[in-house]
């Protein structure tokens, strides 16, 4: 029997988001949703994915990409009316930013600021304003569980530009610490990842971490939006807040998933719109 878990306990408190795609529900009670994708990582599929998303998280050169790729990705986003956000990470191209690092809070703060400066310089040159910040990989997952790391990231974003929106895992320390600073937040859910009972993502080191079936990916996305729950690997229903859905651009089925989710939401009369 499935057990419904009412509260995600990553941060011991469910978050309350301060921004939403439309500021209200659509007819029939379903909200609009943002679809975001990690881009500028040199995978080569950005142009094919871009028409099916509303927000692009662009790598800032620390785990992938460089200034030339950032510029090209921003240009693609502009052509497709997709908002542009920063996707900062640990300095770790060798492991694609997916290896945990033990850094002091002030070092993490500096890490974020440096990457935001880099991407903002390019964005300004192309006459576009940064919209959001979404940490990448190990930095994202560590900030979801560690309030000190989450606070360092939120402080860096707020000090850099308090109009930016911080994307963080639904129900996590990332959201809680950002809200403590009155920073705008967007609670993120994942269509292509499995969940644990505490609302965290299944570690990539485990065989069942990724969802590789297109139909399952679409079904999970619809469940998170319509029912505000996700089914864990143990079969329990976990409460989530879905302001934005992530598609990983480096996934082998990324283009197929992006198109299928886009079409699935449209077929269910769910609007797709940047926050």
Write down all domains in the chain, each with its CATH number in brackets.
Answer: 4-267 (3.20.20.370)
- pLDDT per residue, tens digit, the chain (275 aa), is 455 544 444 433 333 334 544 434 444 456 799 999 999 999 999 999 999 999 999 999 999 999 999 999 999 999 999 999 999 999 999 999 999 999 999 999 999 999 999 999 999 999 999 999 999 999 999 999 999 999 999 999 999 999 999 999 999 999 999 999 999 999 999 999 999 999 999 999 999 999 999 999 999 999 999 999 999 999 999 999 999 999 999 888 999 999 999 999 999 999 999 99
Q: Would you put residue 201 in left (φ > 0), alpha (ψ -120 to 50) or beta?
A: beta
Report the predicted TM-score, pTM, of the whole model to 2 decimal places: 0.90
244-247/184-190 β-pairing: parallel
Tell which residue, 152, 159, 160, 157, has the closest CA to residue 185.
157
The number of beta carbons lying within 10 Å of the beta carbon of residue 95 is: 13
Residues 209 and 232: their CA atoms lie apart, in Å, by 11
């Amino acid at each position: 029997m499935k057990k419904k878990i009412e509260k995600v306990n990553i941060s011991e408190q469910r978050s309350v988001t301060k921004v939403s795609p439309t500021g209200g529900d659509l007819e029939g009670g379903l909200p609009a949703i943002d679809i975001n994708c990690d881009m500028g990582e040199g995978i080569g599929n950005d142009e094919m994915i871009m028409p099916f998303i509303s927000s692009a998280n662009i790598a800032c050169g620390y785990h992938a990409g460089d200034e030339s790729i950032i510029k090209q990705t921003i240009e693609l986003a502009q052509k497709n009316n997709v908002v542009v956000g920063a996707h900062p990470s640990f300095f770790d191209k060798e492991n694609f930013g997916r290896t945990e690092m033990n850094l002091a809070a002030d070092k993490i703060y500096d890490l974020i600021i440096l990457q935001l400066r880099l991407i903002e310089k390019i964005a300004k040159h192309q006459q576009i304003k940064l919209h959001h910040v979404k940490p990448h990989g190990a930095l994202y997952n560590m900030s979801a569980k560690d309030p000190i790391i989450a606070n360092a990231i939120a402080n860096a974003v707020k000090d850099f530009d308090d109009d930016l929106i911080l994307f963080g895992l639904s129900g996590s320390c990332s959201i809680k610490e950002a809200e403590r600073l009155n920073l705008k937040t967007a609670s993120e859910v994942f269509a292509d990842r499995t969940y644990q009972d505490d609302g965290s993502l299944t570690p990539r080191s485990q065989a069942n971490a990724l969802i590789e079936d297109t139909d399952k990916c679409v079904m999970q996305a619809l469940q998170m939006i319509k029912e505000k729950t996700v089914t864990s690997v143990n079969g329990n229903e976990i409460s989530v807040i879905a302001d934005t859905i992530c598609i990983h651009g480096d996934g082998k089925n990324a283009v197929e998933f992006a198109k299928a989710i886009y079409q699935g939401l449209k077929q269910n009369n769910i609007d797709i719109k940047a926050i």
